[in-house]
A = this chain, B = another copy of it.
Amino acid sequence: MYKAPVEEIAFTLNHVAGLADAVEIGRFGDLSSDLVSAILEEAGRFATNEMEPLGGIGDTQGARLVDGEVRTPDGWPELYRHWREGGWNGLTAPEAFGGQHLPHMLNVAALEMWNSASMAFALAPTLTMGAIEALVAHGSDALKEKYLAKLVSGEWTGTMNLTEPHAGSDLGVLKTRAERRDDGTYRIFGQKIFITWGEHDAADNIVHLVLARLPNAPAGTRGISLFLVPKFLVNEDGSLGPRNDVFCHSLEHKLGIHGSPTCTMIYGDGVFGGEKGAIGWLVGEENKGLACMFTMMNNARLAVGMQGVAIAEAATQKAVAYAHGRTQGKAPGWSGEGQRGDMSPIIEHPDVARTLITMKALTQGARAICYACAHAIDMSHHMAADEARHWAERAALLTPVAKSFATDVGVEVASLGIQVHGGMGFIEETGAARYLRDVRIAPIYEGTNGIQAIDLVTRKLPLSSGEQVRGFIGELKEIAESVAASNDPAFGETGDRLRAAIAALEAATGWLLEVQAAGRNSDALAGATPYQRLFGLTLTGCYLAKGALIDIGDGGAEKRVALCRFMAENLLAETSALKDRVIAGAASLEAARTVLA
**Interface residues, chain A, CB within 8 Å of chain B?**
163, 166, 168-170, 173, 193-194, 252-256, 320, 323-324, 327-329, 332-333, 343, 347, 349-357, 360, 411, 415, 418-419, 422-423, 425-429, 433, 436-437, 440-441, 443-445, 448-450, 453-454, 490, 492-493, 521-522, 525-526, 528-529, 558-559, 562-563, 565-566, 568-570, 573-574, 576-577, 580-581, 584-589, 591-596
Contact = CB atoms under 8 A, between A and B. Distances in A.
Nearest to A254: B426
A357 B426 CA distance: 29
Contacts of A577: 573-574, 576-577
Contacts of A526: 350-351, 353-354
10 contacts: A169-B328, A350-B526, A356-B596, A415-B440, A425-B444, A562-B591, A565-B588, A568-B588, A573-B576, A573-B581
Nearest to A333: B522
A593 B353 contact: yes
Contact of A565 (B333, B574, B580, B592): B592
Nearest to A578: B573
B570 A588 contact: yes
Nearest to A332: B522
Nearest to A425: B444
Given A440-B436, A526-B350, A255 B580 contact: no
A354 B589 contact: yes
Contact of A574 (B419, B570, B574, B587): B574
A249 B350 CA distance: 36
Given A255-B433, A332-B522, A444-B425, A569 B587 contact: yes
B594 A562 contact: yes
Contacts of A323: 596
A525 B256 CA distance: 35
A171 B150 CA distance: 60
A580 to B, nearest CB: 4
Given A492-B588, A580-B573, A596 B347 contact: yes
A454 B351 contact: yes
Contacts of A493: 584
A569 to B, nearest CB: 5
A529 B354 contact: yes
B448 A422 contact: yes
A596 B320 contact: yes
Count identical subunits in the complex: 2
A59 B8 CA distance: 41
A365 to B, nearest CB: 13
A450 B419 contact: yes
B444 A440 contact: no
B453 A351 contact: yes
B589 A353 contact: yes
A529 B563 contact: no
Given A574-B577, A596-B320, A490 B351 contact: no
B415 A444 contact: no
A36 to B, nearest CB: 24
Nearest to A427: B252
Nearest to A319: B596
Contact of A569 (B328, B570, B588): B588
Given A351-B454, A354-B529, A529-B351, A163 B588 contact: no
Given A350-B526, A357-B593, A569-B588, 7 more contacts: A170-B328, A170-B343, A350-B522, A351-B453, A411-B415, A566-B588, A570-B585
Given A328-B170, A419-B444, A450-B419, A255 B573 contact: no
